[in-house]
């Protein structure tokens, strides 16, 4: 089975990883990429909040 991890963004879809010809229980192969994606989402959320705060402080 070929497995591909994709991230859907507002304007496009990004391929995060592709694992060709996986057999059996492939969750141990795919899980690290999913955890990295969750970490990236968290980091981007913090960065967006920081930018919003900086913009509010800059206009105060």
Q: Which 3 state secondary structure label does DSSP give 14?
A: strand
- Tokens (6 digits) for 46: 């913090």
The tens digit of pLDDT for each residue in 18-52 reads 989 988 888 888 888 888 888 888 998 999 999 99
Answer whether 22's CB lies under 8 Å from 2's CB: yes
b/e for 35-57, b at 16 or more Cβ within 10 A?
eeeeeeeeeeeeeeeeeeeeeee
- Tokens (6 digits) for 47: 């960065």
pTM: 0.57
């Amino acid at each position: 089975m070929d497995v591909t991890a994709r991230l859907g963004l507002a304007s496009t879809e990004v391929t995060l990883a592709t694992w060709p010809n996986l057999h059996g229980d492939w969750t141990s192969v795919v899980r690290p990429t999913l955890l990295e994606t969750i970490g990236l989402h968290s980091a981007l959320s913090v960065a967006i909040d920081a930018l919003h705060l900086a913009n509010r402080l800059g206009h105060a």
